[in-house]
Structure 1
């Protein structure tokens, strides 16, 4: 993506840094947004995130310049947006988030359906303060979570899929699902001194659909709580994998086939914070996923702490979003 060249008398987008993650959205066909940026934000600073390049370093370099950005923009998927939101919090700057990934759960919850819609909000100065979650493993610094953090069956499925990237997204996903179904084992969590054997735990930012287990699609914009779904290990491996259906239609099919977990197997909590000890079975990875990003731990188990942070980041969004 070539940087746009602004004419001296056209300062639209001046002060905006836009970082594009070209690796996002590989599963869908999208038009290159470069022409839109050049036409509507000609004075913005555009950066392509290259292989091996770290978003934090790119932003730090821009912030150290003589004319640091006053808005941090990102074109990418949920993982890229969550990392930029983390940096927006650090530098106390508003976030211009544009859908450039496969699912774009966060921006869709804000009513941002396209790059043009995001730029419309920016041009009109329409912003809102949105809630996030801080998620920290052991003594690590907290990560900013926009949608959900999860342990159990879903992170293991993602870990298997990443091992098989060479097969392509579709074939790799099929292979990973087959292997995960064969190898699936409950893990042990410890909460408030009580142990439980579970298939998975999903910690959603904001209240979510009560009929879902895998709450990967954020439902609220101005979230101030965590909506926790604990799938207790009382059913089969098939039910454990079926619980990962996060679309309404897919979940409805699973229910009709009686493959979905029973309501009595799902524990729901709406809390301000959650503290879990996570202990996978021997031979299983100590991993968790946040906003589609896999985090691996070296130890056999870890402590995961999630805290709701209301009004944590200011984001450009259409007026009237709740």
Structure 2
């Protein structure tokens, strides 16, 4: 197991003299003051009333988490009961607060606790703010070739006039024939053989990964046009996801980023390779047309072990056993957890994989996961340069950048640091602003650290 700070470490003395560190310490102290204020609000509710607010609120959270677990892991009457519990639990909390006349204390405690969390996150962000990816100036390409999927993102290629705009900027456009199976990598290699000095894609993340592999293989710059549905890769590159045409500015006024590529069983991915529950679901033929319905139908069997199989994995220095789901990402997500792939990666050049393993077997563990987040026993979060997923024979379903595949077991995932030259517009929205995971121990340490001692700061 390894970790990567994503930025050089300053000397302790200079870090503590910096305005950012002093601001972070003030915010940490504000967070603790708000926390004490929340406790005081509960105590002010005549003793037992304050305890009532705390116990009822906690019970409501546990009930909601347990109900959600029953919805996901069962069918029939148990699922119906789960829906009812997930809805009734928070409503019951509000009703009990109203009947016990503890609304003022409850509201004050909630507001103060919210302020404490916001202040703590702001302190950690200033203390651990990651440096951005380094961009270098570059000359415009002479023979750029862009591969466009006209159906991607619900027809964004046509809706934003991407073909005409790209050709007006000097690019040759290859429009994919979506009525038949197309070998996108072969098209990219043919373009290279014909003299292309830049390869680009207007399409989904899966198509981008195929062309990115060819670009990396030949050392050519790669251009991403955010014409997919979710555009996770484009978002983490800091591109404009609302107007894909702005990505084409990189053809005439661009700069380059060096980013990593993930590998899974010899294949390239730009975002994630998923194993276990999610990978099993996307294999189903009905998933493409009814994602939510097919997932809800499949989850009970997968979560309770009636179908699929738990996964064992061995990373650089850690072993993960009997995982229901494994998410391997090209660089770690800022807020790792069950929904990590819906989050953001502040950097794509750290040279490590993000690894999230999930094992939840009952309602109690689901409630713990909801309450404790990354500290829950059912969640494993780490980074690695290489991870191998068992068993030792047969095949394993894998979802690679959302595409359903089956690979020979065991499957090894790795990272290719700085393998891809990505051409981006010089003027772009920029990478997402992400907050570090909550760490109250670090907040307390920072709040009571004097300028002559304490932890260093990442710049």
- State the distance in 2 between where 1:239 and 1:121 align: 48
Q: Shift of residue 201 of structure 1?
A: 0.8
Q: Shift of residue 275 of structure 1?
A: 2.0
Equivalent in the alignment of 2:148: 20
- Name the SS for the 1:90 alignment partner: helix
Tell me which of 284, 291, 301 is aligned to 1:182.
Answer: 301
**Gap runs ≥5 in structure 1:** 1-11, 137-141, 243-253
Deviation beyond 6 Å, 4+ runs, structure 1? 237-240, 258-262
Contact 1:202–1:229 at 8 Å: present in 2 too?
yes
- State the distance in 1 between where 2:336 and 2:182 align: 40
- State the distance in 1 between where 2:399 and 2:270 align: 12
Task: Give per-residue Cα distances to partners, 1:165-203, cap 9 Å, x unaligned.
Answer: 6xx63x353133212333442513142795721111111
Q: Are the structure 2 counterparts of residues 218 and 291 from structure 1 closer, same or farther at C-alpha, using a change threshold of 3 Å? A: farther
- State the distance in 1 between where 2:267 and 2:364 align: 32
More helix by percentage: 2
Q: Are the structure 2 counterparts of residues 106 and 82 from structure 1 closer, same or farther at C-alpha, using a change threshold of 3 Å? A: same
Contact 2:273–2:401 at 8 Å: present in 1 too?
yes
Q: Does 1:315 align with 2:442?
A: no
Contact 1:181–1:238 at 8 Å: present in 2 too?
no
- Name the SS for the 1:38 alignment partner: helix
Equivalent in the alignment of 1:198: 323
Contact 1:239–1:259 at 8 Å: present in 2 too?
no
- State the distance in 2 between where 1:310 and 1:157 align: 31
Q: Shift of residue 279 of structure 1?
A: 7.2
Q: Shift of residue 150 of structure 1?
A: 1.4
- Name the SS for the 1:117 alignment partner: helix
Q: Does 1:208 align with 2:318?
A: no
**Gap runs ≥5 in structure 2:** 1-139, 432-459
Corresponding residue pairs, total:
277
Equivalence map 1:265-280=2 (5 Å): 265-278=378-391
- Name the SS for the 1:83 alignment partner: helix
Q: Are the structure 2 counterparts of residues 37 and 150 from structure 1 closer, same or farther at C-alpha, using a change threshold of 3 Å? A: same
- State the distance in 1 between where 2:299 and 2:392 align: 18
Q: Does 1:291 align with 2:401?
A: yes
More strand by percentage: 1
Contact 2:311–2:322 at 8 Å: present in 1 too?
yes
Task: Give per-residue Cα distances to partners, 1:221-251, cap 9 Å, x unaligned.
Answer: 32311111111x34239988x9xxxxxxxxx
- Name the SS for the 1:317 alignment partner: strand
Equivalent in the alignment of 2:286: 164
Equivalent in the alignment of 1:3: none
Q: Shift of residue 31 of structure 1?
A: 5.7
Tell me which of 139, 145, 148 is aligned to 2:272.
Answer: 148
- State the distance in 1 between where 2:360 and 2:161 align: 53
- Name the SS for the 1:223 alignment partner: coil
Pair member with larger Rg: 2
Equivalent in the alignment of 1:264: 377
Q: Are the structure 2 counterparts of residues 224 and 99 from structure 1 closer, same or farther at C-alpha, using a change threshold of 3 Å? A: same
Task: Give per-residue Cα distances to partners, 1:24-54, cap 9 Å, x unaligned.
Answer: 224xx63616734424532321111222121
Task: Give per-residue Cα distances to partners, 1:271-307, cap 9 Å, x unaligned.
Answer: 2221222479x9xx7301111111114x6xx112111
Q: Are the structure 2 counterparts of residues 115 and 189 from structure 1 closer, same or farther at C-alpha, using a change threshold of 3 Å? A: same
- Name the SS for the 2:326 alignment partner: strand
Contact 2:260–2:416 at 8 Å: present in 1 too?
yes
- Name the SS for the 2:246 alignment partner: helix
- Name the SS for the 1:101 alignment partner: coil
Q: Does 1:303 align with 2:303?
A: no
Task: Give per-residue Cα distances to partners, 1:114-156, cap 9 Å, x unaligned.
Answer: 32332223321311111111221xxxxx111111111101101
Contact 2:320–2:357 at 8 Å: present in 1 too?
no
